[in-house]
Structure 1
Amino acid sequence: MYLLQHRVYLSDLTELFTWTCSRCDGLTKDFEMVELIVDVKRCLQGFVGVATDLNAIVIAFRGTQERSIQNWVEDLYWKQLDIDYPGVDGAMVHHGFYTAYHNTSVRPGVLRAVRKVKNLYGDIKIMVTGHSMGGAMAALCGLDLRLSLGEQNVQVMTFGQPRIGNAVFASYFNQIVPDTIRVTNGHDIVPHLPPYYYYFPQKTYHHFPREVWLYNIGLGSLIYTVEKVCDGSGEDPTCSRSVRGNSISDHLKYYGVEMGCDTPSGCRIVMDPRVVAYARKDLDGNLILSRDLSNSILKLNTDRGDQGSSA
């Protein structure tokens, strides 16, 4: 999943949409892009595709760009819970994360693409992933797929995700989307934000489970990475909370993979005339590149019984 996730940082929409980028080549078997959504106004990007080796629909969201991450991190230090989550008494969430998924061009593009793929391939699983702010959007997307489309087989895996809501929201999320993994890395600063205040457990931000913490052990050239599966609280004090969250470099590399654009690009995008036929713009200038799946050559195993395959 993390190999698919780091492709979403590409600013060259031609390479990403046609799956010909250097990051794509040979690493994911028979992946076909279905819809690529670029919210230019808010610098958001995500895609929906299908993958033979995963036998799944894959949805991935881009995180915060390196140029702005320092300012974004500083803002998260002071961010307060500021919006009630609809339909859940006492659940509160981060307004910016909620808005980024629910009130932009991203959500309708994702739901439209999922319906399109399901019409062709039937009841296959859906895997949602994202890094950094993209992880927050991925979590909200996974919850939305369960609630809005009634999808039963939804798996979420995020990397370096910040906290999204309070303990009531975290408990609700865990109940609705139990097949969720939050991967954290070393001293990554972002999973520590917005801050968790243990003496105000219902009023503060709170992670949902299950965390998998990556950390290094050993000395010199014998250092290797350990994956620790944390407890079901979402705030295991023996996992990432056991260290100081003060590293941006740990945030930008997971499993040895750089999470970010190959070159600093801000919100600039590149698109070859060959893919213009697949693109449409809305009134705000946001782009959606969409592929007709009627001629798809991918053959997914829709009769398999492994509905619970882990992310």
Structure 2
Amino acid sequence: MEAETGTSSPTFAEREHAALAIKVPDGVPEVAPEKYEELVHYFKYASSCYILLCPRPCGNTLVTTFSNAMTDIQGFVARDKHRKEVIVAVRGSASLVDVILDAQALLVPLVSPGIKATSGARVHAGFLAAWDSVAVQVLAAVHLEKKLHPDFSIVTTGHSLGGSIALLAALSLKGSFPLTEVRTYSYGSPRTGNREFSKFVNDSFGPSAHRVVHGNDGVPTMIPSALGYHHHGVEYWQHSTPASHSTTVQCDPSGEDPKCSISVPSRGVNVAHTNYFGILVSTPFCL
């Protein structure tokens, strides 16, 4: 039997809350409850990618899985008949191979299926190699789905490395299906390309490109802007806990809002990177 001391050790949630008690400057608006629920919804797909097989992603139809043994990239394509969407979800880093891809930070020209990038757009060499390794599989699956469901929109989503790949996937899919609405959601993803690339993304998607950061998650700033990298917008920052629309703000569309997550020093891969909206990354939503 434990001795009574009159005090108790703080729980994990309490320690996290203390660590994420970040004061947000005035003038940064809270997200609407509907937008908050939307961000949580697509994170559940990104989280579900971390298991080998998700038979019913978020209760919807699994169309196919995709993977590449050389790059260790995996994910799935799902169909939501209620929202009329085809969803492409990509897993984040989960192996040494993924870490090696993360480290290939040379900026290279953006050449990939379906993408007609603006002059000067450069992206992370490892992230581009990762997307290109599965691009044919993903595009073929979505082409078939669009033939069967021409009125469905397309969504891409991913956490960490998966978020950067999901962004590149969205650009390929938008180029391949120019008349279809395409939206993309990333969670805790690093900077993916340079300023010209960021402008290309913002011009292509506007508010349909969602980039979510949790508290002091250091991965989004792990690749420094000093190397020529620049985030795309719009950033949604869950600055403190408990997770809710009132603790999540919508930053300006520049991608590098000084009032938001870049105001917090980078700590690399930390506790904040391993959970979003109070959901532990790799939690499956597959029934």
- For the criterion TM > 0.5, the same-fold answer is yes
Give the distance between the partners of 1:224 and 1:37, measured in 2 at CA: 32
1:81 touches 1:166 (CA, 8 Å); kept in 2? Answer: no
> Where do 5+ consecutive residues of structure 2 fail to align?
1-41, 112-116
2:154 touches 2:180 (CA, 8 Å); kept in 1? Answer: no
TM-score, length basis structure 2: 0.75
State the Cα distance separating 1:57 from its structure 2 match: 0.6
Give the distance between the partners of 2:122 and 2:256, measured in 1 at CA: 17
Match of 1:160 in 2: 188
Match of 1:260 in 2: 282
Q: 1:92 to 1:224 in 2, by over 3 A?
A: closer
- 2:206 pairs with 1:184: no
Alignment of 1:60-75 (within 5 A): 60-65=89-94, 68=96
Give the distance between the partners of 1:185 and 1:191, measured in 2 at CA: 10
Alignment of 1:150-299 (within 5 A): 150-178=178-206, 179-197=208-226, 204-216=228-240, 225=244, 226-246=247-267, 247-260=269-282
Match of 1:83 in 2: 108
Q: 1:215 to 1:116 in 2, by over 3 A?
A: same
Match of 1:131 in 2: 159
Give the distance between the partners of 1:135 and 1:45, measured in 2 at CA: 12
Match of 2:43 in 1: 2
Identity level (%)? 31
> Where do 5+ consecutive residues of structure 1 fail to align?
198-202, 218-222, 263-311
Give the distance between the partners of 1:167 and 1:43, measured in 2 at CA: 28
3-state DSSP of counterpart to 1:89: coil
Match of 1:274 in 2: none
Amino acid across the alignment from 2:225: Y
Give the distance between the partners of 2:128 and 2:156, measured in 1 at CA: 16
Amino acid across the alignment from 1:160: G
TM-score, length basis structure 1: 0.70
Match of 1:40 in 2: 69
Give the distance between the partners of 1:69 and 1:44, measured in 2 at CA: 9
Q: 1:80 to 1:122 in 2, by over 3 A?
A: closer
Please identify runs of 4+ aligned residues in structure 1 that moved more than 3 A.
67-73
CA RMSD of aligned residues (A): 2.3
Number of aligned residue pairs: 234
Output one character per residue of 1:164-220: Cα deviation in whole Å (capped at 9) or x when no partner: 1110110011111221100000111110021013xxxxx610000000001116xxx
Q: 1:68 to 1:227 in 2, by over 3 A?
A: farther
Give the distance between the partners of 2:163 and 2:179, measured in 1 at CA: 19
Of Structure 1 and Structure 2, the greater helix share is in 2
State the Cα distance separating 1:224 from its structure 2 match: 5.4
